[in-house]
Structure 1
Amino acid sequence: MFHIKQLELVHWDFWRRFTLPLDAQIITIVGPNGSGKTTLLDALRTLFALRCSGKRDFRRYVRRGEHDFAWIRAVVANVASGTGKRPFFPCIHDEVTLACRIKRAGGDWTRDYAILDGNVAIETLESGGEWTGLRDYQNRLAWGGLTPAIAKVLSLEQGDTDKLCEYSPRALLDLVFDVFGDKEVLDNYQAAREEQKGAERELEGIGLDLERLRAQAEAKRLEADNYRQWKQHADEVLALETEIVPRLEVAELTRDMSNERGDLARLRDDLRWLGREQATLTARLAAVTAEREMAVAALAEVRADEQQAEARQLAAHDVLRDVERLLEEERKLRERVATEHGADALTLEAEHAAAEALAAKLAGDERALVAQFEDKAEQLRAAQERRGAPGDAEVSAFRAKLDEAGIAHRVLSDVVEVTDVAWQAALEAVLRPYRHLVLLEREDDRHVAWAMGEQARFRHFIVAERESAANARVGSLAEVVRFAAAVPRWLADLLGRMQRVDSADGARHLPRDTEWITRDGYHRERRGARHLGRPAEFHFGELARQARIEQLGRDIAELDAARRALSPELDRAREKVSAVRARLLGLQSASLLALRSNEFAQARAALPGARSSSDQTGTAREAARREVERLRENLTGIDTEIDRRRRELNAVGTRLRDLTQQLMPRRTEQAQRLVALRSRRRGMPTHWLDPRELAQLAERYGDARAARRELGRLRDLLVSGDWVTDPSALTLRDRLKDDLARREQDFASRQGYCATARRHTDDARAAYIAKLRATVRQYGKNLRALGELANVGVDCGAPPLDNDDLALAQAGLDVSFDFDRKGAVGLNDGEASGGQQVMKSLILLIALLMDDTRPGGFVFIDEPFAHLDVANIDRVGRFLGATRAQYLITTPVTHNANVFAPSQLTLITSKKSPAESWAPPIGILKRAK
């Protein structure tokens, strides 16, 4: 940094014009209070574009004179440094002139500055100097070493230079960085931090606005959805009222009329055919009645002949029977005599009773086994022929009645096939209450079937309304079932809404209101969960049929084995009964045989004649009987034919009366339908009657009654609901949606910008910390060097500098001093004396101005020797003399003479005399070398 060699003032305060030599290291400015010591320093401060002391400025000094201009000119050194660089390059002389011209312009004072190579006089500058503005001038001075930080030090208030030791660690660190640090680094850090804070505040504001906008957009979306739903319901109500219901009514009337037209045509055809059939049946009945009368007469004649032949045959048969009975008695008596003569009758009678009871029991067991065998065999044949699941007696009896009435039907087991055997048990458990469900093939038979069910008190459902099952939902129980025919919708819905799960624990992930069932038959519905029970036997599908076939085969085999095992026992029992009976009858046969020997001999003699007579009469009777039987059968056939024709004639007559009674009301109803159809079709567009469009409406709404029911439901919904009916809800929703999208883009952009700002702040903070550490090291080095010159131990510890704003804000520079090896003292701990406080402040001050790359420079110090004793004055003087800076020191005339010991040049100021316009010139005392 440069030092001052000469100063010239013109019209500054009360000085007219003078020139001062300042080419010395220590310059003492001495004079009484108010003699102009600070005025002289403020002239230098104004020349160097610094702030004047206190509340003064340059205008205070120039307006005291009666002239409109003032000059401050200084000659400073422009000696090259160790690097060969001159402070005021491109000025290449060893001396450079710095000039400040102050003049009045329009009632105000302005300053102009100039930097010229060499020692240039004021007159030369006045005649043709090159002037520059304040900002450019300050930049040139900063390039020469008078940086803004050093300028801040030079601008310290009077008395502040000896109070640096009273600064807080934080304030001292800020001052040190202002002097040594790279101002651009600090500015970058502060700017980056402010930018980050601003970006974060802006991001927070945008975030709050975004959340508020999201809430508004969601509210408007809900209102728009509510409006769209209301609009949809209102449009549908209008369509139902004005179009759909009338179209469906016309379609139903058209369909009913077409069907009724065909029915009436068939009814008239039936009436004509029944009339012809009635006449034919009447003629046939008359012919068959005449034939019967002839057959009755012929039968009477043949029956009389048969009675006579029968009487003759009975008489001959009685004779032969008596003869044969006597001979049979003789034979039995002879056999008994030969076998059991002398047996005990009571013993044989008891044995006979026991044997007969055993034979009867075994015969009963055999009949029961045979009956069971036949029943199981019939069931096996039915299962093998796929004739459905086994039904109980009640179901079989009722189905037989339906067959007799000509009502085609099927049971549920005939149409259900299980495609996944793993779910057979679960399906059987669900369908167990409906296993005997009766499905009518024709819906028109429902009333007759229901009447039969009521009469028979049939406990199972009879269903006429059937439709093809829709595609099963994936994962439902209906997915493992295939229906071979149409089934009731409620049955398909029952299986379709049950979700299949492996276990109850596996249903945790399903929604709360889902109905599910496990493989084992554990079922959950809206009322709760329970086990449906595993059926003992299966009724549905191929698996059930195969299981029945296998079980029936095993039952038949067991019954057959039991019957075969029982047959030998029954045969032995029967043989024993016969043997005991024969022994019982053989008692006393010999005496009876001898007593009736003559009777038996006559019978043997009459036997051939009796047999011949019986044979002849039997042949005659058999011929008569066959003729009677032939005529009786013929008569029976005729009676059956008469009865059948009468029943046919009665049925035709009844049907003819019924159709005749039905024809007129139905024709009247058809005429009413025609009138209603013409009335409702009047004014309808043609496309309203398009069959394809009507089919779509029927598929959506069903019939007109269902459409009217839907219309009522929608009307109630529109009346009772809380609806948004303003169409502007859609516009507001779209507008807020667009605003939200733009705001989200802005938020994302600001997030990226905020992240970039944080990164820049981190980088700037790291650079600032690095520069701050280097500054503290340099300042500590300067402090230690000055401490060695002053024979004072100085320690400057590095402050903790973390990459954090809070840590940086709390960081400070702790400097300790050790005077006379009495122990370290801090900056302002109250333990140092007044002289030590001045010494600490001077060390702290001069260390701020030390720069190895720019040695030298100058310092303004106001009254550094105030309140110092003689010894401390000498100590401070020696310290100043040991440094390389140029010092301009003010001191009052009341000080000890030792204050002038280090001074090489003394400037003496004097007060202006009231009688004089100008103050006396400054005196100069220069120490001889």
Structure 2
Amino acid sequence: MFHIKQLELVHWDYWRRFSLPLDAQIITIVGPNGSGKTTLLDALRTLFGLRCSGKRDFRRYVRRANRSFAWIRAVVANRPGSSGKRPFFPCLKDEVTLACRIRRAGGDWTRDYAIADGDVPIEALEANADKAVEWVGYRDYQSRLAWGGLTPAIAKVLALEQGDTDKLCEYSPKALLELVFDVFGDKEVLDNYAAAREEQNNAERELAALGLDLDRLRAQAEAKRLEADRYLEWKQLDDEALALAGEIVPRLEVAELVRDIALARDDIARSRAERQRLDDELAALKARSATVEAEKAAADAQRKAARSRELDAEKDHLAAHDEVRDFDRLIAERSALRARLAREAGEAAVDLEAAYARADARLLQLQRQEREAIATFEEKTTQLRAARDHRGPPADPEVSRFRARLTEAGIAHRALAEIVEVTDPAWQGAVEAVLRPYRHVLLLAREQDRHAAWALGEAERFRHFIVPELETAPPPAAGSLAEVIRFADAVPRWLADLLGRIQRVDDADAARRLPRETEWITRDGYHRERRGARHLGKPADFHFGELARGARLKQLDADMRSIDARLQKLRPELDAAKEEADALRARLHGIEAAQLLAARAEAFEAAEAALPAARARLTAAIAARTDAKGEVEAIDLRLRGIDIEVDRRKRDIAGLARRITELAQEAAPRRREQARRIQRLRQLRRGMPAEWREPQANQRLADKYGDARGARAELERLRQRLAEGDWITDDTVLTLAGRLRADVGEREAQFHERERHASATRQITTEARTAYIAKLRATVRQYGKNLRALGDLANVDVDCPVPHLENDDGGLSAAGLEVRFDFDRKGAVGLNDGEASGGQQVMKSLILLIALLMDDARPGGFVFIDEPFAHLDIANIDRVGSFLRATRAQYLITSPVTHNANVFAPAQLTLVTRKKKPGDDWAPPIGLIQRAV
């Protein structure tokens, strides 16, 4: 783009005539407010066909001069660019004169423009003797300037208002993208896209009109088709009504009678079978009811026994309570006698009596130990005799009581310990450790007794397993724990599996040779399984096999010897205690209280010794009474359940009896109804064609109409519909419908042809849009490159990503150019997001503005900037000045005289404007200050 080298004004505002050299990069126009800075720029804007600032126009300025004409002339550069073309070709000189002549014509002002090759003065332009200068109008002149680089988009940018230098950064992303494309874009690409879109719109409008015509024809064809369908529907209904009356109803009546006869026959048979089944069920139910009655009688007997036990427990409780009360009374009486003895004979007598009491207590204690030892000896003797006479494990009270219940219920069973025999004494402890949780497992002789046994186990809260599924143990694996065990009978499968998978090892170190997952046990009972290894603990008492029985016999014999030795040691101590007690009793003789104490010492000591046991018996009696009461309550609860079961069975018996009676009452009417159906069938079949009896055809009719009643209802409905409906009965409507259907087909073919044409136009539009998008992307990349280059000059990081452009009109219309600036590494800010300061707004607008003028094909250009330093501090003024010096554009900058002197630092040429003095006709000429190079 060109730049300005000289400006001459004649009769412009209050200036009469002057010429200014403008051949510098940065020109500062300085002066007070109202001195003509903007007036000078508006002269340049008028010369270049731009809009003046604010609400002003060129007429305002020429009227002030009070003359009939005005001139604006500028000499601009016309040097070839990088492509070799000159901006104002066919002008071939390095300088070109641009002139604007303004004249009054008929009360209004007109302006003409001229472009002359070389530096042509105003007088030569006015004379135009050789007709070398061609005066043109405003529009043609703008086109010539646009060819020279002053495009309408740049013109809009150059026409920014005074003080609006920062308005570019207030553009929306969409508006900025449109401006950038106006400046850099290829107009031919845009015109091709617009032409393709117009062609597409025309094709689609034509297609829409053809579609409306086709829809109207389709509506006519559809109306005639509906009339034809109405005729066909009438014809179908009439034919169907005739068929129903003459054939379908009779056939369905016969088929329905045949079906009803078969169903009734089956129903009668089922009723007979049901009655027989109910008779059998009633007999079985009565038998089961008798069983429940028997169970109730047994429960009543158990309740009587439990109630008797409850009464006995109550008596025992009362007796134990009285016994504790008597003992407490004796101890209280002894305390009273001791207090009396202390009053009568002094404290020495009390000490003597206390010594006597201790001696007598010692004697009673030894006597009690002797009795307990004798009782224990007798108990061990009884156990030894029982162990010698009886084989099997030692008895457990809970297990014995439950086994007695099983025996009373007739459930044969055995204990697991009764059928297990350990063949190797060395492994007895390991076997006992593994089988300790299963010592009291009970094995049922008959598997069918399992539910009865489980019911007893639930009632008794039996904590051990009751196993009904038994089988012969398989041969043991070599080295397993099962190898040292022999079973006398069938055992649970899980027990055989447990013993069969455990391997015997001498110690844990010997298990190293076994596979990783092998389960093993040592002689000492150290067991390894899938969860890990642990010691099971070696039981002190053995339960399984003859070895266990022998160990128990040996232990009982050792216990008896120990008790006998204890008795031999105890008897001399007993004799000495008796002698001491007799001597103390003699010393206390003669004191009444002492005599009473001595006389009843044995009773007192016995009471004191027996009191804990009496209290224990009272506690046991309370527990026994509670247990007996709980047993009675449990039996009462069971009796209530049995009563409910008896009532339910009685209701079931009554219901079955009632159902049997109903079946008997329903049988006779069913048989009579069946006879009537058979007679009616015979009447209908007389004279009926054979094909009417075909079952499959009749089934299809039944599927369609249901039954004869449904067919008759359908016939009546059809007749009513034929009578009431508005029907088409003329068959010519079929011919008209076919003709219109053919016309619709022909018109649809034409529509499809136009639709293909519209599709082709859409494809062309898509291709043109693709080219437009490609050019738009290239334009944005070029503009982003210019922005980054200017940002580097201004020490500002500028980011201008290429927008996402969809290949459709909606995406293009919504696309925008997002530009972000990073000042002083404080974070990126957008175009107009309110984050930037006033100075940063100016810097952003300058970068956006100058980037529009950076064209590699047409470098240079000029920029009008009104008061860019209005919002800047001193540091930012220097920063903007350095930035302007670093660019290649020509700048005409206005600045009021109130600014800091730093605004003049970047200027090579400074124009100084002055106000017109009052009374003068013309304003003073513009002063000129040029920086020495």
TM-score w.r.t. the length of structure 2 is 0.45
Larger Rg: 1
TM-score, normalisation: structure 1: 0.45
